[in-house]
Homo-oligomer: A and B are copies of this chain.
Amino acid sequence: MKVIIIGTGNIGTAAQKAVLAAPDMELAGVYHHYEIDNAQCTMHNVDVALICLPTRESPAFAEKMLRMGISTVDSFDIHTQIPEVRQHLMAVAQEAQSVSIISAGWDPGSDSMIRALLQVLAPEGQTYTNFGPGRSMGHTVAAKAIKGVKNALSITLPLGKGKHGRHVYVELEDGYDFDNVRQRLLQDDYFAHDATEVEQVDDVEKYQTTGHGVLLERTGVASGRDNQQLEFKMKIDNPSLTAQFMVGCARAAYRLQKEGRYGCYTTIELAPAWMLPGSVEANVRALV
């Protein structure tokens, strides 16, 4: 399986390691996003492209690759837009006879598979997704956009039952007043609805972390019996886990394309065995 990586940020860099360690993959190229148009002639034998670009740029690059007949995996993470991206890339992939797997990070991604499975196991009930502690990219970008903020970092804190707090480290531009900046940050729509603590620091970089975590909890009813207690928990390195799961999904994309099952899939539409190297028989023996 020949795999290329588009993007050289945290996830792209981690994906290189994951592809190189995969027993069934060849790393056929690593590209910056701006190199794609000129490098198309080098890609005629490529099976799967891992799209490791900022989320908003992902669908357009996926479309470009799909139209070349190259299957794609991305970690598009704007939950509310996933259905429309899926629908759009479905038509593109079916026409171009390729396979797109979207939103294949850990949330959305592997967590989505777990949420679906928890729902199968206990059809009535509540699932809570508790993130953190770990860096939120969206909130970090929002904090950096506040006037007077030179650098910022927003850590998501799990408060339980799907509620989250924010711990925001800010480094000020010269001449700005902390209380003033803090007030503006707390009124920002990203922070106004959560318990938010703002801390002024000299150097935000000292507090950077790629560590993250999640706790998925479901209490529900199975076969008429209540109080079934299910949970899934991870403490992980964020870009490493994202990239590794994308590599697993690359196997699923490759398999689906070979079987002629073209289209766009989210992770809940994939079987775990499709994501593993080795024969299905060997994996049944080892894992079932």
Residues of A within 8 A of B (CB): 14-15, 17-18, 21-22, 79, 82-83, 86, 103, 106, 108, 110, 112-117, 119-124, 222-225, 227-237, 239-241, 243-245, 247-248, 266-277, 280-281, 283-285, 287-288
A108 adjacent to B288 (CB under 8 Å):
yes
Which of A14, A82, A272 has the most chain B CB atoms inside 10 A of its CB? A272
A286 to chain B, nearest CB (A): 8
Please classify the interface of chain A as helix (H, G, I), strand (E, B), loop, or mixed, using the class held by over half of its residues: helix
Smallest CB-CB separation from A225: which chain B residue?
B240
B276 adjacent to A116 (CB under 8 Å):
yes
Known: A232-B231, A272-B120. A222 touches B18 (CB 8 A): yes
Protomer copies: 2
B223 adjacent to A122 (CB under 8 Å):
no
**What are 16 A-B pairs at a CB distance below 8 A?**
A14-B222, A14-B224, A18-B222, A103-B288, A116-B273, A119-B287, A120-B275, A120-B276, A121-B234, A222-B244, A223-B241, A223-B247, A228-B240, A231-B234, A269-B274, A270-B271
Smallest CB-CB separation from A231: which chain B residue?
B233
- List the B side residues contacting A235 at CB < 8 Å: 228-229
Known: A120-B275, A228-B237, A236-B230. A82 touches B268 (CB 8 A): no
- List the B side residues contacting A276 at CB < 8 Å: 116, 119-120
Bound-state CA distance A248–B122 (Å) is 10
Contacts A18-B223, A223-B240 given; 8 further ones with Cβ under 8 A? A14-B225, A15-B223, A22-B123, A103-B288, A112-B287, A223-B243, A227-B237, A230-B233
Smallest CB-CB separation from A249: which chain B residue?
B120
Bound-state CA distance A103–B245 (Å) is 26
Smallest CB-CB separation from A265: which chain B residue?
B271
A229 to chain B, nearest CB (A): 4
A238 to chain B, nearest CB (A): 10
